[in-house]
Amino acid sequence: MPVRSTEWEGVYADGPWLLTRNLVPGAVVYGEGLVREKGREFRRWDANRSKLAAYLKRGGRVWPFRFRSSVLYLGAGSGTTASHVSDVCADGTVTAVEISPRSFRDLLALSEKRPNLVPILGDAAKPESYGGRIGSADILYQDVAQRDQDGIFLRNLDLLRSGGIGFLMVKARSADVSASPPTVFESTKRTLSDAGIEVIDFRNLKPFQADHGAVVVQKP
């Protein structure tokens, strides 16, 4: 099937697959398939491995990622999703904060091939420790799977520019093992609204990512 553009800038599709254009042709990051067409190379973006791809598969409406965007990415892990964001924001910057030294090593190796990816070994709960290196981001993306994920997100909103877009990937079981996921999602939305932050989209990410929801906000 031919590769086609989608309504989301920098994201392509091939049949049921989402794709991003590979910034580092020939290199795979997590075993994803490569698709070559007319001298261009694309990487398959697996919604079962990436919550941002799952957000799109679930009909996500908000897509602020541009060629030159600056993104603050919290909880980058080994860089599965961050690598696709780095493909999309090819001429921008993806600052990726990760607390685990083991995952950080993978991120560091990834950044050696991807000049727009800037890894930081740090704690997203302490934005003051890396804030000075970031300035004001266009997009804040958080996927830390921590009990205090709402509070961490609110603190990092200081590093998002006015009018910027924030994505909070909520892991319901991290917040409260006994509450139902919809209850946790509602509680997160209320916490953000109470803090004066407008929630502009929400998607339950099942069946791609069980017990996860994507909350999207715009900073006033």
The site for ligand SAM (CB under 6 A) is made up of 50-51, 74-77, 80-81, 97-100, 103, 123-125, 143-146
Q: Between 3 and 131, name the residue whose CB sits nearer to ligand SAM.
A: 131
Q: Between 36 and 147, name the residue whose CB sits nearer to ligand SAM.
A: 147
What phi and psi, each to the nearest 5 degrees, are found at residue 163? 85, -10
Alpha-carbon span 65 to 170, nearest angstrom: 20
CA angle 214, 218, 220 (to 5 degrees): 155
Alpha-carbon span 8 to 63, nearest angstrom: 6
Shortest distance (Å) from residue 2 CB to ligand SAM: 28
Q: Between 3 and 154, name the residue whose CB sits nearer to ligand SAM.
A: 154
Q: Between 3 and 145, name the residue whose CB sits nearer to ligand SAM.
A: 145
Give the CB-nearest residue to ligand SAM: 75
Shortest distance (Å) from residue 95 CB to ligand SAM: 12
CA angle 49, 123, 55 (to 5 degrees): 30
Shortest distance (Å) from residue 104 CB to ligand SAM: 9
Closest CA relative to residue 97, chosen from 67, 65, 75, 70: 75
Closest CA relative to residue 37, chosen from 17, 14, 53, 18: 14
Please report the sign of the dihedral spanned by the C-alpha atoms of residue 211, residue 151, residue 128, residue 217. Answer: positive
Shortest distance (Å) from residue 110 CB to ligand SAM: 11
Shortest distance (Å) from residue 83 CB to ligand SAM: 8
Q: Between 60 and 77, name the residue whose CB sits nearer to ligand SAM.
A: 77
